[in-house]
């Protein structure tokens, strides 16, 4: 019987942006994981030994900020991709991967906050989410990534051209498919700090909370497909 014995390293960059549903999924599939709390000063691993994959969560900072942990994280991502170790990124995480692999991160034309439609734009998306042509994802970003060299863009939205890309076993996403109800309500309390008016690409907290249970359930159908494809690339051992 094959099993995954090495944990997935999950990098948290902000206390309010933990692994959420991603952790729930890993545990449901008996995949061990280890939280690396960048926000609390946990050291960046200097080796990939002992990990079956890397996951990077979101955060309020920019990958272009002069932060001491960013260069070693970018180096770790490059080493992982070169070693064919699966890497996955959510929002800031997707931006970190893109920058590590030669892409750029810059201001998106508009802030994208709240629920919004994400659409498939390349047949390769089928390898990751099946025949789903679109889904309603959760967004909270003001910057976005370019598609790194050698990667394929698989998702886009009306307000952000690059919503997800894949390269080998690596998946970088701009949207947040890992959200839980508690995370959405926590972030909603910080909506005023964004200093932005509600509009086509930005929802108010009360709009985000409407039909939240149904929206989360629908998004998790897509998250399950994405995560199932991703964990299929993790190294297994035979018991």
CATH classification at residue 170: 3.40.50.880
pLDDT at residue 10, as a whole number = 98
Is residue 83 predicted with pLDDT exceeding 80?
yes
| Tens-place pLDDT, residues 98-155 | 999 999 999 999 999 999 999 998 998 999 999 999 999 999 999 999 999 999 999 9
| Tens-place pLDDT, residues 6-19 | 999 999 999 999 99
| Tens-place pLDDT, residues 162-174 | 999 999 999 999 9
Is residue 2 predicted with pLDDT exceeding 80?
no
Complete DSSP assignment for 160-207 = EEEEEEEETTEEEESSBTT--HHHHHHHHTTGGGG----BTTB--HHH
| Tens-place pLDDT, residues 175-190 | 999 999 999 999 999 9
pLDDT at residue 182, as a whole number = 97
Residue recorded with tokens 């309010």: 16
The span from the CA of 222 to the CA of 225, in Å, is 5
The span from the CA of 80 to the CA of 56, in Å, is 13
Q: Where are the beta strands (DSSP E) in 62-133?
A: 87-90, 105-120
What percentage of the chain reaches a pLDDT higher than 90?
93
Domain that holds residue 185: 2-238
Is residue 50 predicted with pLDDT exceeding 80?
yes
Is residue 239 predicted with pLDDT exceeding 60?
no
How many folded domains does the chain comprise?
A: 1
Tell me the β-bridge partners of 155.
120, 164
């Amino acid at each position: 019987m094959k099993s995954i014995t090495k944990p997935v390293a999950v990098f948290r960059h902000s206390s309010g942006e933990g692994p959420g549903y991603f952790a729930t999924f890993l545990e449901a599939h008996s995949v061990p994981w280890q939280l690396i709390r960048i926000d609390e000063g946990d050291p960046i691993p200097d080796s990939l030994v002992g990990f079956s994959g890397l996951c990077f969560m979101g955060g309020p900072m920019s990958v272009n900020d002069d932060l001491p942990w960013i260069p070693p994280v970018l180096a770790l991502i490059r080493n992982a991709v070169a070693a064919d170790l699966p890497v996955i990124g959510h929002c800031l995480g997707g931006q970190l991967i893109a920058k590590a692999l030669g892409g750029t991160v810059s201001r998106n034309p508009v802030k994208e906050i709240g629920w919004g439609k994400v659409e498939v734009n390349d047949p390769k998306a089928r390898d990751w989410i099946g025949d789903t042509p679109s889904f309603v994802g959760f967004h909270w970003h003001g910057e976005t990534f370019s598609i790194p060299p050698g990667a394929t863009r698989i998702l886009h939205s009306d307000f952000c051209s690059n919503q997800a890309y894949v390269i080998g076993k690596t998946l970088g996403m701009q949207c947040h498919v890992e959200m839980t109800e508690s995370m959405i309500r926590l972030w909603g309390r910080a909506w005023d700090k964004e200093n932005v008016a509600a509009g086509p690409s930005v929802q108010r907290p009360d709009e985000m909370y409407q039909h939240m249970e149904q929206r989360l359930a629908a998004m998790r159908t897509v998250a399950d497909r994405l995560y199932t494809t991703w964990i299929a690339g993790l190294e297994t051992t035979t018991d």
